[in-house]
Amino acid sequence: MGGPQRVFESRELLIALTLRELQTKYRGSFLGWSWSLLNPLATLAIYGFVFGILFGAQAPIGENSNLTGFAWFLLCAIIPWNFFAVVNNIGLTSVTDNSALVRRVAFPREILVFSNVVFALVQFGIELVVLCSILLVVAGAPILPYIPLAAFLGIALAMFSGGIALALSCFAVYFRDLKYLWTNALQIWFFITPVVYPPSLAEAQLPSWAQTVLQINPMVHFVGAFRDLLYHAQIPDIQRIGIIVLSALVSLVIGWSVFNRLSPRLPEEV
């Protein structure tokens, strides 16, 4: 039985695990789900102060939106980046955190990863709706026609992130220090992706070979596409869309293949 078919036939379990994550995420917290909005705003405040005020970073003017605020420029990138990071971080430990379930119950174990992906996607969707509402109402950006494409990008980003999380969740069973190494790797990945600085800065400061390396970073294109849609109010170029679709498919296929190869031994190793 193929992986997608296994997951589809166990969709009720997927829904149940996702609801469990949604119900327990902020249980006992006074602010509850408000943290899903406060966390990116806190990150925005920190990076906005450091780069926008201390270093005087200037956001480019939105090509069709005429937006100029560094906060808008940063939010359009930091929300999708946070989604990518959350999927990786919680996906990495999804098998080890459910070791008792993995050992005792026979089920498609990739559902543990996918339930976390869906949970993070719901949170990302809330943040994206709030961001689009602010850009439309407060900033007056003409982004309404581009919101459906932003939703498509969110699905593609979930596929790309989920593929990585599938592989990481298996590797973490055999190498428990991986979660600490991956935290550092994500920090490096963050700064080689133009989230807190405009791409033009990298083009001006980096040699040509480094710019080439930067362009093979899929997150450069995901972040750039979200900025194209929500900050510049324009459709990303076809090459960027092609890279995004290819990255999402390749990541999911490879990640799922790795998971299928290693998952039979998970009950013994976890």
**Would you say residue 198 has pLDDT above 70?**
yes
Cα angle at 132 between 128 and 135, to 5 degrees? Answer: 140
Query: Is the Cβ–Cβ distance between 84 and 190 less than 8 Å?
Result: no
| Structure-derived torsion over alpha carbons of residues 127, 215, 241, 224, reported in degrees to the nearest 10 | 30
pLDDT digits (tens, 9 = 90+) for 125-173: 988 988 898 888 877 778 989 999 999 999 999 999 999 999 999 999 9
Q: Which residues contact 86 (CB under 8 A, 6 or more apart)?
A: 120, 123, 124
Average pLDDT, stretch 97-120?
Answer: 89
- Select from 222, 37, 55, 42 the least CA-distant residue to 134: 37
pLDDT at 1: 46
pLDDT digits (tens, 9 = 90+) for 206-265: 788 778 878 899 999 999 999 999 999 999 999 999 999 999 999 999 999 999 999 888
d(CA 205, CA 75): 23
pLDDT at 56: 65
| Long-range contacts of residues 246-251, Cβ cutoff 8 Å, at least 24 apart | 247/156, 247/160, 247/218, 247/221, 247/222, 248/156, 248/157, 248/159, 248/160, 248/163, 249/159, 250/163, 251/159, 251/160, 251/161, 251/162, 251/163, 251/164, 251/218
Average pLDDT, stretch 181-202?
Answer: 90
d(CA 56, CA 113): 40
**Would you say residue 2 has pLDDT above 60?**
no
pLDDT digits (tens, 9 = 90+) for 14-41: 888 888 877 777 666 666 666 667 776 7
d(CA 89, CA 169): 9
Orientation angle between helical segments 70-92 and 35-47, nearest 10 degrees = 120
- Select from 37, 65, 57 the least CA-distant residue to 227: 65
- Select from 142, 159, 171, 161 the least CA-distant residue to 231: 142
- Select from 182, 157, 158 the least CA-distant residue to 172: 182
